[in-house]
Structure 1
Amino acid sequence: MTLARYDLTATDEQGNVISGASVEVRAEQPGAPLASLYSDRAGTTPISNPTATDSHGDAGFFVLGGFYKIEVTSGLLTKTRRYVGIGLAQGSDVQPDGITQRYHTAAGTVTVGVDDADIIVVKKTVGEPTPAELPDPATATRKVRIVDGKYDAATNNITIVSLGTSKTIMGGADYVIDSNGGSIELTPLADGSGWI
């Protein structure tokens, strides 16, 4: 079996890397069991779960595709990412019938239109943080998925905001994709107040 890889860099609130942080990976399913992690793509060499970040704050592992809760802990600092999609399908251009996809390769802001593609893959030719703007949810009628197709969002975050006055993304002012290969699917709220 061929497994998918996931990489992350642990940082504190000031952006300093954290070496020796604990990285715990649990399946997003009833009982939240610890995931089986491996150091190789074939899944023949298991590693501990939790694992730890190296001297550069980096950690990586291979795991069976699925949705995972990843919790990074160091001292009193804990960062939790929920429903992190990891799997070989994220690296595929195959899509179900009726689903449209657009690649964004240019520098600058990704602007998502009301009638844009269902999936926006951010795959810039340069490594830089990417702002992304969703349309005002009061005028939007469908969901959209934003995907880090360059696999460098841990270093070059994708920051998503909504157009319109005081519109929220997942209850906040913005949403940041900060994991390599990360993605989020957002749906406009019926009352037009934001995206979830």
Structure 2
Amino acid sequence: MTLAAHQFTVTDGAGNVVSGAHIEVRSEIPGQPLAAVYSDRAGTTGLGNPFDTDADGFVRFFVVGGAYQIRAYTGASVAPTFEAPLQRYVGIGLAQESDIAASGHSEREVTAAGDVTVSNSDADVILIRKSVGAATTVSLPDPSTATRSVRVVDRKYDAATNNITITSAGTSKTIMGGTSYVIDSNGGSITLTPLADGTGWV
């Protein structure tokens, strides 16, 4: 596992650093559950959640890429003696929130349970945003019949837990040279284009 880093310094309204402030990191998904945070990029040493800033008010942590809610406070959680403004929708990592709406592109948002089949007449962008978290298989059309690219996006931002596996219709057709491609980072996405010889998607 390779994680994304995020760092900042907590200050009060006068610009003074706040040492020992408690940092609470929650995933920006329904229910805002506490996120698994680590002190190293490999994700071998957990920090606990909340965790504290150092003597200089500085904090650095590692987490799976995605959107997060970050709270900094001192004292008790329910009655803090100091609380910095709540940070919402903080994008961490390369994938972040994958805002993809572009002029001239059509989108289809999938919220229903079950696997997803993409047709040649489907939307340009397939947004996976199921109402209940679950792994998903997305089947693209046979590349020998396809004429345009398709983008698949984790719009629920939970693909690290609920992987999105992309496959292709047709006999022995490949996805990025293999039998399938897996989106396994929160907010991850991939654009796939049919090969001219019809053998697969890249």
Q: 2:64–2:160: 8 Å Cα contact kept in structure 1?
A: no
Give the C-alpha shift of residue 130 in structure 1. Answer: 0.3
Which of residues 115, 132, 135 in structure 2 aligns to 1:129? 135
SS class of match (2:122): coil
Matched, 1:86 2:95: yes
Return the match for 2:63 from 27, 43, 60: 60
Distance between the aligned counterparts of 2:165 and 2:197, measured in 1? Answer: 23
| TM-score computed with the length of structure 1 as normaliser | 0.60
Runs of 4+ in 1 over 4 A off after TM superposition: none
Mapped pair 1:177 → 2:153? no
Report the 3-state secondary structure (helix = DSSP H, G, I; strand = E; otherwise coil) of the residue aligned with 1:146: strand
Partner of 1:16: none
Q: Give unpaired runs (5+ residues) of structure 2.
A: 11-16, 18-37, 48-60, 67-92
Aligned pair partner of 1:116 in 122, 138, 163: 122
**C-alpha spacing 1:174/1:114, structure 2 compared with 1 (3 Å):** same
* Secondary structure in 2 matching 1:165: coil
- Give TM-score scaled by structure 2 length: 0.59
Pairing partner for 1:104 from 107, 110, 113: 110
Equivalenced residues, count:
136
Larger radius of gyration, structure 1 or 2?
2
8 Å CA contact 1:122–1:150 kept in 2: the answer is yes
RMSD: 3.2
The structural deviation recorded for 1:59 is 4.1
Structure 1 CA distance for aligned equivalents of residues 159 and 64 of structure 2: 17
How far 1:115 moved relative to its partner?
Answer: 1.4
